[in-house]
Amino acid sequence: MLIPTETLKPKQISRRSFTAYLSGLGITSTVLTSSLWAKLQENETTKITKDMLREAERLAGLEFSDRERELMLDGLNNYLKTYQALRQVSLSNDVAPALQFNPIPPGMVFDKQQRPMKMSKARELLVPSDLEEVAFWPVTDLACLIKSRQVSSVELTKMYLDRLKRYDPKLHCVITLTEELAEKQAKRADEEIASGYYRGPLHGIPWGAKDLLAAKGYNTTWGAMPYKDQVIDVDATVVKRLEDAGAVLIAKLTLGALAWGDVWFGEKTRNPWNPEQGSSGSSAGPGAATAAGLVGFSIGSETWGSIVSPSTVCGITGLRPTFGRVSRYGAMALSWSMDKLGPMCRTVEDCAIVLNAIYGPDGKDATVLDVPFNWDAFCDLKSLKIGYLKSDFEKDRKDEQWKANDEATLDELRRLGLNLVPIELPDIPMKPMSIILNVEAAAAFDDLTRNNRDDLMVRQIQNAWPNRFREARTVPAVEYLQANRLRTLVIKAMQEMMSDIDVYISPSWEGLNSLLTNMTGHPAVVVPNGWRKEKTPSSITFIGQLYNEEKALAVAKAYQDFTSFHLKYPVL
């Protein structure tokens, strides 16, 4: 069939609409469709008209005069040529913009002295007759068994691998088992420890990585169908540093596709406490696997809630470090100015141990600062100034039980002898700044949108990445920069607010604290603090000063040691 291509206006319709048009004519061949599209691109030169500009003004919330539109046309058509020239250069996800976010306000200083870690006294433990009884033990206890050689890393690794294989069909938390690598690393750990070479508390401990972290020899799928068979032939810095600490990588764990939610190309990752529910996201697999006792600990990532939320839902302890604390080399980029990697564990001290192994510059992620992390399990809490977000705690909520749990948390902290000072977050509009995430994410996955490979994504709804990427293409560059200028004001206001506060406490899901602190880069520790109406966990969040995770961890540990919520685990 001959198609009168000279009568079509290809640049005024999308590739998708053109394909639908041909399908209506009975042409479904992909090769023929692509050939015709290419021909039309050659035959038609895009021209922006005044009518097109008039419609575009509405998207930007502006209105120009007809004379102003006339003056703009040549420049806009030159912009189009610029866009086309830019798109001739292939930009992979690991290429960051030449603009670097810095969360540190002018004049802020840090402790530059590196001191030895001060860990809690190790418990004297005996290995149970059934090794699976240790599946829910924290790293601190597992390390005692490994160091004393009561249990070998090979035995521990086999036990966790067996559990992963047994329970993953129910939880859908695993994308790839790294069994061959795990056996090799566990065997090496046992040989080193037997020879007297002990690397530290992570030596021989099996762990799981959110599958946005690259590991040589294994697929790195980002949880999304377009990248299901992707292999990135490097080890992410976090993967390499944990290997150097002697940890054993046993699985690449699920994430919601491209780090949104708990739905990936295989299924929805389930909450071990209630498999009828999802485990939240996007660190869905690390949350579920850690809570279910399938790994000793895991590594997740957060851009806006992706460690805090699944840690809450799954009842584990999560640490979102300061922006620029942990290298993201080898990790999928979603938002260059917001992405953070952090541990998801069973206890606060486990998080401190893992952070100690992975933090600091690597010469590959330019955002990482060389600031010491000095964990002290015996920190004098009475010397700390601790605040709480008064209005967020007092707000009415749908889940009255969770509010009661949060109020009980404040009471328990006061019983520990802590003086809690009421504070409020800076009164600056936060929600408009969320366009920063959407624009950066759309840039990170620009080719997915332009090549229509976003159609391969499982979730095709309004509130999912394919649609958000398309929407973000309409955000003017000026407004993106204005949002970042507003972000500067928030950073300054937070510095002023926290000048007299070492740590503050926030409801995990209430108010704008999550968005604000992800925008400013402040660290957060989330721990379980009770049960919700539907018998699933609730949590509380501790926020620390920039590059001062140790104080937030110390307060969270004191609370955790005073309660027993973290000692409970789901029955599978």
Query: Catalytic residue positions?
Result: 210, 282, 306
H-helix or E-strand spanning residue 504: strand 503-507
Q: Is 451 exposed, middle or buried (0-12, 13-18, 19+ CB in 10 A)?
A: exposed
- Cβ atoms of 208 and 253 within 8 Å: the answer is yes
Q: Are strands 248-253 and 174-177 parallel, antiparallel or unpaired?
A: antiparallel
Per-residue CA distances from 298 to 2, 311, 442 (Å): 58, 11, 28
Helix (H, G, I), strand (E, B) or coil at 336: coil
Q: Do the Cβ atoms of 244 and 192 come closer than 8 Å?
A: no
Task: Locate 440 and state its tokens.
Answer: 């950066």
Q: How far is CA 434 from CA 302, 464, 516, in A?
A: 14, 15, 10
Q: How many helices (H) and strands (E) does the chain have?
A: 19, 13
Q: How far is CA 285 from CA 276, 344, 472, 494, in A?
A: 15, 11, 28, 32
* CA–CA distance, 33 with 76 (Å, rounded to integer): 29
Residues 6+ apart with CB under 8 A from 544: 322, 502, 503, 522, 523, 524, 525, 550, 551, 552, 553
CA distances from 280 to 277, 284, 519 (A): 9, 6, 21
B/e letters for 103-129, b = 16+ CB within 10 Å, e = fewer, are: bbeeeeeeeeeeeebebeeeeebeeee
Burial 555-572 (b: 16+ CB within 10 A, else e): bbbbbbeebebbeebbeb
Query: What is the C-alpha to C-alpha distance for residues 232 and 216, in angstroms, rounded to an integer?
Result: 7
DSSP 543: E
| Contacts (Cβ under 8 Å, ≥6 apart) of 49 | 73
Q: Which of 150, 175, 356 is nearest to 255 (CA)?
A: 175
Closest to 374 in 3D by CA, of 22, 73, 119: 119
User: What span, in angstroms and rounded, lies between the C-alpha atoms of 9 and 60?
Assistant: 25
DSSP-derived letter for residue 362 is: -
329 and 212 Cβ atoms separated by less than 8 Å: no
Q: Please, which residues bridge with residue 290 across strands?
A: none
Q: Tokens 């189009």, residue?
A: 80
- Run of H or E residues at 56: helix 50-60
